[in-house]
Amino acid sequence: MIETPEFQGTHLWERLCWAKEKLEPYRSEYCVVWEDPNDMENPAKVTHPDPNWMACALQGGILPPVQSYWELKKDENKPDFVKHTRGPELLHNMKPIDAMTEEEAIEYLIMKDIPEHVWRDWDKSNKPKMVICKKDQLPGTREWRNAWQISEDLVINNEVAA
Amino acid sequence: MVAHGTIAFDTLTTSDQVNTGTEKSLDTSYIFNGVLKAWLNLDGTGTIGISDSFNTASVTDNGTGSYAKTLSNAMSNSLYATGGGHNANSSFDANGRVLPSSTTSVVMYAQANGASVDASIVTALVSGDLA
């Protein structure tokens, strides 16, 4: 396995350039199906990890901690926000996170790219608001795509929804 | 300065003798500022699949002809430029939109004949300042 250079202090975009050139994309068979309780008129959404991003996550030493994105989001939501000023502090100079397993990478991505009100209380209503599943568990055609919903009959145990 | 395979310089200069004979200079930061910061080529049919990309963390399938792409390296603010298109229905009524949603998210819509459609090629380009 190729060794990741010491990237703390290197611009994240430059790290992504390195990864694009050096790492093989990793196509995960997992995706995340989720429903936004604030947007129930629309169908369930399905989030897929990017293969190049997955390669960075599995490699380690490239991506910033997910908390960096939460801080950026907080800054962006401030009424007087003009532009990010903490990019160097949060993305480029922050110690990159170590290699993740595929499962950890999916969890990171959920906390980065899916609204917090969805993943924080994903199992606190009549049916789950979010499910990690394999792509082959999705409907085979998109004919009724705009009617997709998470089934109310879904059984949840402590670790998985199946 | 040349060290460890890195050439560091602030300005590129050419005499341009072949064409105009007038020397031209360019601050190298202009080059970085001008290049695309993210791009995506997506298959939006079936179970959607990311064909290739750069600076993309995930893609969300929001419904027929509606997708969102997130960035790994955030943009400086949401006033960046986007572009892209799709190949569904080659009629003149085909319409694709790619728009900034936040500093880390871009939304993409594919339409043809006034209706949302799934396309086997959906592309998105992002240009602007990085955070």
Q: Which of B13-22, B85-94, B107-116 has the lowest mean pLDDT?
A: B85-94
Please, are residues A59 and A99 in contact by the beta-carbon 8 Å criterion?
yes
Q: Average pLDDT in the B70-98 region? A: 88
Q: Average pLDDT in the A3-22 region? A: 97
Look at residue B2 in the predicted model and tell me its pLDDT.
45
Could you report the per-residue pLDDT of A52-94, keeping only the tens digit for each? 999 999 999 999 999 999 999 999 999 999 999 999 999 999 9
Look at residue A162 in the predicted model and tell me its pLDDT.
37
Q: Give the start-to-end residue ranges of the domains of chain B.
A: 36-127
Taking an 8 Å cut-off on Cβ atoms, the answer to whether A13 and B76 are in contact is no
Please, are residues A129 and A118 in contact by the beta-carbon 8 Å criterion?
yes
Task: Give buried/exposed letters for A21-39 (b at 16+ CB in 10 A, else e).
Answer: eebebbebebbbbbbbeee
Mutation choice for B interface testing from A35, A50, A114 by most B CBs within 10 A? A50
Look at residue A155 in the predicted model and tell me its pLDDT.
66
B 17-36 near A (Cβ less than 8 A): none
Could you report the per-residue pLDDT of B39-50, keeping only the tens digit for each? 999 999 989 999
Q: For residue B29, give both structure tokens.
A: 């930061």
Taking an 8 Å cut-off on Cβ atoms, the answer to whether B57 and A112 are in contact is yes
Please, are residues A91 and A7 in contact by the beta-carbon 8 Å criterion?
no
Look at residue A151 in the predicted model and tell me its pLDDT.
87
A 31-50 near B (Cβ less than 8 A): 31, 42-43, 45-50
Instruction: Give percent of chain B above pLDDT 70.
Output: 93
Residue ranges of alpha helices (H) inside chain B are 28-34
CA angle A56, A36, A49 (to 5 degrees): 15
Taking an 8 Å cut-off on Cβ atoms, the answer to whether A91 and B56 are in contact is no
Taking an 8 Å cut-off on Cβ atoms, the answer to whether A53 and B48 are in contact is no
For residues A155 and A162, what is the distance between their CA atoms, to the nearest angstrom? Answer: 6
Taking an 8 Å cut-off on Cβ atoms, the answer to whether B130 and A47 are in contact is no
pLDDT band at A104 (very low <50, low <70, confident <90, very high): very high
Look at residue B92 in the predicted model and tell me its pLDDT.
62
Chain A residues touching B131 at Cβ < 8 A: 72, 83-84, 86-87, 90-91
How far, in whole angstroms, is CA B6 from its chain's centroid?
Answer: 26
pTM: 0.90
ipTM of the complex: 0.94
